Structure 1
């Protein structure tokens, strides 16, 4: 269990992020077209998991915009933007913003992604949502980098995440 803050108030998460050097747990997430995507669907590409509470908040939206901008310049890399938001919310946001370089995925069906990655918030007003995290994987699904942002309203360290690629 990890502790992060929301506007300075301590909140708990369900576990710890996968360790650098380990295989990332597989997942089943829902894409905007309601299809199911698994980690194995991205084998052979480097993967950035941009994980956040909700695309309908300013910091979360900014992280999607920033990774969209950065993704257009990265070779053989997929950026997956993951939250509990319904796929319709992801599609609406990315469509309105013209964001085409990220892949939006939802953990709304059973929440197993957040549980398996140890990043579900278990206390406070955002309970059951994902904490803000970035996880970078190599082409074989090995964890290269993790960051659980200590203060949920802060943006992740984009530079460090991209450098890990």
Structure 2
């Protein structure tokens, strides 16, 4: 799939495109402690899967802080932010920014999440990292909301994401 993604540059995304009403693939990502944890699939809670290119950018940092704030008031929702950052960099970011209400994971090892969700950027300056996207996944493991940001330097529509979450909790 081709999208306009980096200041007007068209890029191709690799992997299996996941859309609303599809089953959310279950994949493992690496946590700050180097232990793997699973995102996607069926769970006992509503999941919000936030995919960002790198926590080391102002937009990704702001997005992660925003979802961390929202998670503090949403006790029945599991929010996971996944990037391609090394776990050590994620750990520094979370410590510095006080990120403690969400799971933060890395897809750096095999890019399993980026490929399973069709988000791996194939070409251009950011080839090899994931596109910016948000998925809301119900308890049955079905995607009930998807936002693929058509410009990687723009944050998702938080109001729409939160409305989708709140009508399901």
Q: Place the TM-score, normalised by the shorter chain, in its bin.
A: over 0.9
2:63 aligns to what?
63
1:111 aligns to what?
111
Taking a change above 3 Å as real, the CA distance of residues 131 and 48 of structure 1, as seen in their structure-2 partners, is same
* Aligned mates of 1:98, 1:140 — CA distance in 2: 31
Q: What per-residue deviation string (whole Å, max 9, x for no partner) do you get for residues 12-71 of structure 1? A: 211464121121011011111111111379711111111011000010101000001111
Q: CA deviation at 1:159?
A: 1.3
Q: Secondary structure at the match of 1:82?
A: strand
* TM-score for the superposition, normalised by structure 2: 0.92
Q: Secondary structure at the match of 1:159?
A: helix
Q: CA RMSD in A?
A: 1.6
Q: What per-residue deviation string (whole Å, max 9, x for no partner) do you get for residues 109-141 of structure 1? A: 111111111001011100010000001111221
Q: Secondary structure at the match of 1:12?
A: strand
Gaps of 5+ in 1: none
* Aligned mates of 2:32, 2:128 — CA distance in 1: 21
* TM-score for the superposition, normalised by structure 1: 0.94
Count of residues in Structure 1 that have an aligned counterpart in Structure 2? 165
Q: Structure 2 matches for 1:1-165, cutoff 5 A? A: 1-15=1-15, 17-39=17-39, 43-165=43-165
The runs of at least 4 aligned residues of structure 1 exceeding 3 Å deviation read none
Q: Secondary structure at the match of 2:120?
A: coil
- Is 87-96 or 6-15 further displaced after alignment? 6-15
Q: Secondary structure at the match of 1:72?
A: helix
Gaps of 5+ in 2: none
Q: Secondary structure at the match of 1:123?
A: coil
